Amino acid sequence: MCGIIGFSGNVRAQDVLLDGLQRLEYRGYDSAGIAYFKETGKISIRKTAGKVRDLRAICDDNEATCGIGHTRWATHGGVTNRNAHPHKCGDVALIHNGIIENYHELVSEYGLEDRLISDTDTEVAAALLDKFYDGEDAIGAIKAIVPLLRGSFAFCILFKNHPGEIYAIRNVSPLVAAKCKEGTFIASDLTAFIEYGREYFIVPEYAILTMTDTEITMQDMDGKAIEPEMTEVSWDVTAAQKDGYPTYMLKEINEQPDAIARTITPRISGGLPNLSDDGIPDSFFEGCRDITIIACGSAMHAGMVGKSLIQEMLEVPVTVAIASEFRYEPPVITDESIVIAVSQSGETIDTLEALRLAKKKTKKTLSIVNVKGSSIARESDYVLYTHAGPEIAVASTKAYSVQMASFYLLACKLALVQKKISEDDAKKFMENLQNVSDSISAVIAQSDKIEQLTKRMLNANNTFFIGRGLDYTLSMEGALKLKEISYIHAEAYAAGELKHGTIALISEGVPVIALATQGHVYSKVISNIREVKARGAYVILLSMDEKITDRAICDTHISLPKVDDRFAVFSAVTVLQIIAYYASVGKGLDPDQPRNLAKSVTVE
Ligand code: M6R
């Protein structure tokens, strides 16, 4: 939530900051702002409600070489110019990602009322810093205020009398930093400055950074020097660009076949799943009596696919917990339970906190994470990195598919270790998994046809996604995708459950997207579809049949490539993603940046 960037160097800071913010915009796009040192040593601020392009429009030409920038996802205080970051209080200008939970108490305790002009928690931190800053000792001021703050934060700070220097500190909210020939960089994530260099480090929690145009130094809260642990990025700048596509989302849908191949191929040896390069020993999978999956949103839906699969192959109970709920219920897990946290960003606070809670009960935690070195990856006992590359569109597509693929790997590995599957069957299973990239490509080739059928949905007030078994889990993902980027209300229903109430909402022309890829419940789903069709629904059916022309069943049929039923999820969800995408574009919306949303949800 919120993107932050800082730069001190030998080129124009404004260009670096604005370009970086443009790349970070997926983290929040309510307002944007920059602060920089003028030649006089004074701090100047430009900020506005709106997007980075609106900020660009109000920036003048200046040659400053040190500054900080912010793109906001509003939490405290409306979307106004006043509430946009940076916040300047006296001799301090500051940007913030996170939430200061005790900001009300701080205001009264330290008498800050008169210093505040915005409605944000962030300005309170700026005011507090200014109160403790003596005009000389920037680090002293940081050390004085940080213990007073409750909540999560990543701050970049400019102090008057320290021109050319940026100070930073974080708790939970992410920050990465790098030194390149142009200068020193710090940001919420790498996409902001990847074009300048490939080596970077993750800023440790509670390390105080001082950045000049040539150096980054770090010390802990006791003043002890900290050496950065350098790491190298595994993708290049083009991965974070649109690369000729009109939107990131369309690019990312199209990247799925490669992303899945990158995620699974290095983990197959001799035709069998092999997680030794990930450092996950077979003993991890032994003797497990139950599994709990914790995640949010699409990652949680991927977990539901994992649940269906693992439960069937292993015959052990698998629970999928919404991370934000799991945190506040007594966890029903033991030291023999496996807990799997799933997250693209690796920084979703609810998932992170749920993982922390789970770790109090079991040492068998594993995360499926896309962003290298992220908090969830670092805090779990084992990590299975997905290799989707950067996912920029707010709606998750390729990250969801690689999460599903990871569950297929894990399910096969678990079943092998627990001797629930023969090696031959495991090899067939893995072969099927390797073929899913082709089936996704086959569906992408039908994009034009899928785009046409979405025209029927653009004026709908309500839509329904129905299916049974794995198809029901996909229905949830399809409905979420449609809602978040097209703002069309969508509800996912287990097809057999409709008649217990919701079928009352079906009337003439209501779009129903029906999935029927699971052989063992095929005829049942078709009966459920007939029921809605008989009540006037406009049915779009996805199945592996070559053709269905019976108008008593559906109005439009999308034929999916024929695969083993368990693997149909990959092509089917791609259709659902494309439907959502064209529904959004058809309504003239921006699928990459839907209203009210941000890519990484680092607030509770
Ligand atoms: O980064 P995470 O995978 O932890 O994010 C979880 C959800 O916030 C995310 O999947 C969200 O639901 C997406 N916008 C869905 O498209």
User: Mind listing the pLDDT tens digit for each residue in 196-236?
Assistant: 998 999 999 999 999 999 999 999 999 999 999 999 887 77
- Separation of CA 180 and ligand 1 centre (Å): 32
Q: What is the pLDDT of residues 500-544, one digit of tens each?
A: 988 889 999 999 999 999 999 999 999 999 999 999 999 999 999
Share of the chain above pLDDT 90, in %: 86
Distance CA 65, CA 183 (A): 9
- Separation of CA 57 and ligand 1 centre (Å): 31
**What is the Cα gyration radius of the chain?**
25
Looking only at the bridges linking them, the beta strands covering 489-494 and 382-385 are: unpaired
- pLDDT at position 22 over 80: yes
Which of 298, 322, 324 maximizes ligand 1 atoms within 8 Å of its Cβ, making it the mutation to test the pocket?
A: 298
Ligand 1 pocket check for 386: Cβ under 6 Å: no
pLDDT given at position 333: 92
User: 252: which 2 tokens?
Assistant: 């990312």
Ligand 1 pocket check for 401: Cβ under 6 Å: no
Closest to 592 in 3D by CA, of 252, 296, 247, 273: 247
Question: Which atom in ligand 1 lies closest to the alpha carbon of residue 395?
Answer: 16
3-state class of 155 per DSSP?
strand
**CB 335 within 8 Å of CB 363:** yes
pLDDT given at position 182: 97
- pLDDT at position 272 over 90: yes
- Separation of CA 374 and ligand 1 centre (Å): 15
By CB neighbour count within 10 A (0-12 exposed, 13-18 middle, 19+ buried), where does 110 fall? middle
- pLDDT at position 270 over 80: yes
pLDDT given at position 332: 87
pLDDT given at position 224: 97
Interval 403-412 mean pLDDT: 98
Mean of the per-residue pLDDT values for the chain? 95
Distance CA 532, CA 9 (A): 64
Q: What is the pLDDT of residues 172-193, one digit of tens each?
A: 899 999 999 999 999 999 889 9
